[in-house]
Structure 1
Amino acid sequence: MSFRALITDRDAEGRVTSSVQELDDIRLPEGNVTVDIEWAGLNYKDGLCLTGGGGLVRAYPHVGGIDFAGTVRDSADSRYAVGQAVVLTGWRVGETHWGGYAERARVNADWLVPLPKGLSTHDAMVVGTAGLTAMLAIDRLEAAGLTPAAGEVLVTGAAGGVGSIATAMLARLGYQVAALSGRPQHGEALKALGAASIIDRNDFLAQPDKPLESARWDGAIDSVGGKVLGKLLKQVKYGGAVASLGNAGGIALETSVLPFILRGISLFGIDSVMQPYARRVAAWQRIAATFDLPAYAGLVREIKLEELPEAAVAILAGEVRGRVIVSLGA
């Protein structure tokens, strides 16, 4: 049996290019479950993999795509039956193991999660790695004591995939969300998701820098890093917490110990790649019960395999709003 895949390759001069090719099943990597992929997602990390950035891909030719959803075609693991709907995120699939930019994938059963009731494979990729990461961040902040009865929760990079889904889910859970973005033209779309206020990133960073600033945020989910994270830490209220899950604004962190020792704040790192199975299942179940998919529909763009190289460049340039998902089903 053959299938279509976006093959990413690097030539002798180091140029990385991608093209759609027809492959035989024998080309699939090792694994004990084969999945017919119906939808895949486009994430910032995918943009790096398709353009050769970040050194994420070590062996070429390669099939990218760090998340996908589909149905089981063949299984040597008793947990998964033929025809069962599944979703995969993380485990370095799409980086060191062939991923979702193909009509078929073969993976380790431990990397899969059964699709929760109420979510289609299309829905699962609207959520994707971005939504799973956002929910893990919400879970972590709530474990630290954040409740809807608190004040404002800041979401940075709010027009992106993680930020927009975090905004929508926090609002649905009853939180008062302030959405910070460098693209204020998307403010009305964020308000439609439930954001109570919109903050321009340039205005936020233009405020005078002090070792400690006026305390405003009871919690925050930050997908930007860099100067934005450094500044918001100075504005978190006593006992508040921040979940850090991205570095689109840089990996450097300029801060001091003062917010930690004078206000007792906490900074949590959120990783969705290597999360244990039980935590993934619980997060996906909560997503299915929380995320308002119809309300988010206007922030979803569907593309084909052939459009991925151009979309990869766009997401790295910060030109993607919400979620881009890739259609692979018949």
Structure 2
Amino acid sequence: MTVTNRFRALMVDQAEDSFSVDIKELSLDDLPEGEVTVRVSYSGVNYKDGLASIPKGRIVESYPMVPGIDLAGTVTESSDSRFRPGDPVIVASAELGVSYYGGFSEMARVPADWVIPLPSGLSLKEAMILGTAGFTAAMSVQRMEENGLQPDRGPVLVTGATGGVGSTAVAMLAKRGYTVAASTGKAAEHDYLKSLGAEEILSREETTKEEKRPLLRARWAGAVDPVGGKTLSYLLSTTRFGGSVAVSGLTGGTEFTSSVFPFILRGINLLGIDSAHVTNAYRREVWNRLADDLKPEKLLEGTGVTEISLDELPQALTSILKGGVRGRTVVKL
């Protein structure tokens, strides 16, 4: 496989009084150490990547940095016997794009322990339509099922439902046979959410209004929550006995109010979803489900996917921070 030494990448850099986001030409010598070198085909745009593109995002650990917390591509070189040139692979989460040059680059070099063989049943593009957002949604579903969630237990609510985690969660849960409700602040997107499998739509106002009572009417057997803040307060007070809330994000804020009553009177489970530090074996298990029973065909085949070039990426990063992205955006490299 022919590999050119020069390639393009999006790079962020910060000095004492300046911050920059530029597309630069790099060489293979600029890449960090690692056992596996990958020609990147696609990367996904995540909220965390948006945070990496602003000076006060508090995501990037050192500068300069190539953001992009996930990538899919083809191995060009490997010193690890588990991978050979030509192998299609995924790298998602871990420290990619945060403390290690990430996926917004035509070439990448990573530790072998971060690399996942592309599961049969997924293309490289499909893997990045899912990306870390899809992995987070799938991990949320799996963690809730590990804690007793089943389709016959009752409806499951997905908050922030038009975003990356939310939209993939709606489609996954519907495929698994769950009754899905979706919460969104975008009235124009109700038809889109119903096309993914949502049977009920809740307004953002309903899931964020202030309540003095610690417990409200029990409605949900489970909830996928990439929002946090007041929405998480609502979920804790409305989840049914023995249900689970899987929280993975903070677009609605980092603070929430609750009491011990949801936990000691309804026995609910508050599940923190951290996709960055799970074991490689668990990561492979979830990715294999993403290629099988959790593969959200309605999302992958629908209108909720936008493909962009590297040159269009800075604008997409701005849009995702403003809540202006529906579904998933993938970068073709």
TM range (shorter): over 0.9
The aligned residue for residue 308 of structure 1 is 313
Structure 1 residue matching 2:153: 3-state secondary structure? coil
Q: Is 1:246 matched up with 2:256? A: no
How far apart are 1:52 and its partner, in Å?
2.4
Q: Does the CA contact (< 8 Å) of 1:127 and 1:165 recur in 2?
A: yes
The aligned residue for residue 93 of structure 1 is 96
Residue 198 of structure 2 is aligned with which of 170, 192, 195?
195
Q: Does the CA contact (< 8 Å) of 1:302 and 1:326 recur in 2?
A: yes
Q: Does the CA contact (< 8 Å) of 1:123 and 1:293 recur in 2?
A: no
Q: Is 1:136 matched up with 2:143? A: no
Residue 4 of structure 1 is aligned with which of 8, 18, 21?
8
Q: Does the CA contact (< 8 Å) of 2:157 and 2:180 recur in 1?
A: yes
How far apart are 1:61 and its partner, in Å?
2.0
The letter of the residue matching 1:304 is S
Q: Does the CA contact (< 8 Å) of 1:33 and 1:76 recur in 2?
A: yes
Residue 61 of structure 1 is aligned with which of 60, 64, 71?
64
Partner Cα distance (1:295, 1:128) in 2 = 13
How far apart are 1:142 and its partner, in Å?
0.6
Partner Cα distance (2:139, 2:62) in 1 = 30
The aligned residue for residue 232 of structure 1 is 235
The letter of the residue matching 1:317 is K
C-alpha spacing 1:295/1:166, structure 2 compared with 1 (3 Å) = closer
C-alpha spacing 1:295/1:60, structure 2 compared with 1 (3 Å) = closer
The aligned residue for residue 84 of structure 2 is 81
Partner Cα distance (2:148, 2:299) in 1 = 28
Give per-residue Cα distances to partners, 1:187-234, cap 9 Å, x unaligned. 111100000111111133337441110011011111100100011110
Residue 271 of structure 2 is aligned with which of 265, 268, 271?
268
Structure 1 residue matching 2:23: 3-state secondary structure? strand
The letter of the residue matching 1:36 is R
Output aligned runs, 1:1-330, within 5 Å.
Answer: 1-13=5-17, 15-206=18-209, 208-289=211-292, 290-293=294-297, 295-296=299-300, 297-328=302-333
The letter of the residue matching 2:275 is S
Q: Does the CA contact (< 8 Å) of 2:134 and 2:168 recur in 1?
A: yes
Partner Cα distance (1:307, 1:238) in 2 = 46
Q: Which runs of 4+ in 1 moved over 4 A?
A: none
**Sequence identity (%):** 48
Q: TM-score, normalised by structure 2?
A: 0.95
Partner Cα distance (2:202, 2:66) in 1 = 38
The letter of the residue matching 1:8 is V
Partner Cα distance (1:43, 1:9) in 2 = 19
**Root mean square deviation, CA, Å:** 1.3
The letter of the residue matching 2:317 is A
Partner Cα distance (1:59, 1:203) in 2 = 40
The letter of the residue matching 1:7 is M
Partner Cα distance (2:55, 2:313) in 1 = 14
Give per-residue Cα distances to partners, 1:100-138, cap 9 Å, x unaligned. 111000000000100001211100000000111111111
